[in-house]
């Protein structure tokens, strides 16, 4: 079977960010009659890292590792095969997906990749009661497939600056089931809208360890600064309801 992210042998309520809208691309198929939201791609640009802020949470050794990975010639290409993945990846449960560490997400949030990323969208696939109990700042809560289609595919996000990228980072509580499944769902739906290998969103990642791991490492990037597990005893009815909707 072809893996979703590796090159094949032949080749609740959701708060929205304020995004500018542009005209649709002629290349887009079913979605081309719709207006597109403009937001983040980096064709042919040589990779480097812009360091901003005080770099808290990212040591000099990690930054050097990021620079080395970006300069590597053997990186796998993103979903439309136009360029290598920007973010350094780590091994994860599903070899067909690209996983990043909590430290890499923290580096994105603090602007260490701002030279190359126009917009980073963090998709929290947990149920609303989990999200309300604590989430990564700026994350959007998309627990159901219809939420994903409405937010990302009805009016796709495209770059204002063609030299920069839109990246999407998925997670759930542990990033073992809901986050990876939603990441695969978006890629499959995106593929079905285009002539291969074109995509609205060629660069997708999964946060390894999920919200739980990120919260314990970087609680200052979470609001409220708390963690509510999926199987919280006070939310049994909500869990039953959302599991039913997910099916």
For residues 226 and 137, the answer to whether their CB atoms sit within 8 Å is no
CB atoms within 10 A of CB 176: 16
Q: Which helix (H) or strand (E) holds 74?
A: none
172 catalytic? Reply is yes
d(CA 94, CA 80): 20
3-class secondary-structure state, position 131: helix
Residue 149 in tokens? 């289609």
> Do the strands 36-39 and 20-22 form a parallel or antiparallel pair, or are they unpaired?
antiparallel
Nearest to 62 by CA among 92, 87, 42, 84: 87
Question: How far is the CA of 245 from the CAs of 59, 64, 173, 239, in angstroms?
Answer: 42, 45, 18, 10
Residue whose structure tokens are 């995509």:
199
Q: By the 8 A CB rule, do 237 and 226 touch?
A: no
Question: Which residue of the set 6, 125, 172, 222 is catalytic?
Answer: 172
CA nearest 166: which of 38, 29, 35? 38
Q: Which segments of the chain does DSSP mark as H helices, in order?
A: 60-71, 102-109, 128-132, 145-148, 178-192, 210-217, 236-246
Positions annotated as catalytic residues are 172
């Amino acid at each position: 079977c072809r893996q979703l992210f590796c090159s094949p042998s032949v080749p609740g309520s959701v708060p929205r960010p304020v995004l500018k809208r542009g005209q649709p691309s002629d290349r887009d198929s079913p979605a081309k009659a719709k207006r597109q939201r403009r937001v983040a791609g980096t064709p042919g640009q040589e990779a480097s890292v812009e360091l901003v802020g005080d770099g808290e949470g990212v040591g000099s050794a990690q930054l050097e590792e990021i620079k080395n990975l970006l300069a590597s010639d053997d990186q796998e290409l993103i979903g439309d095969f136009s360029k290598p993945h920007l973010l350094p990846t780590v091994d994860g449960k599903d070899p067909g997906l690209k996983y990043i560490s909590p430290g890499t997400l923290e580096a994105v949030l603090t602007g260490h990749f701002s030279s190359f990323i126009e917009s980073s969208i963090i998709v929290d696939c947990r149920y609303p009661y989990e999200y309300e109990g604590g989430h990564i700042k700026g994350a959007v809560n998309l627990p159901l497939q219809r939420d994903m289609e409405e937010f990302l595919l009805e009016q796709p996000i495209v770059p204002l600056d063609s030299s920069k990228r839109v990246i999407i980072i998925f997670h759930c509580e542990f990033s073992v089931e809901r986050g990876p499944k939603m990441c695969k769902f978006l890629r499959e739906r995106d593929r079905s809208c285009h002539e291969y290998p074109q995509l609205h969103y060629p660069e997708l990642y999964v946060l390894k360890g999920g919200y739980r791991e990120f919260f314990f490492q970087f609680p200052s990037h979470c609001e409220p600064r708390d963690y509510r597990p999926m199987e919280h005893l006070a939310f049994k009815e909500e869990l039953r309801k959302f599991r039913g909707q997910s099916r």
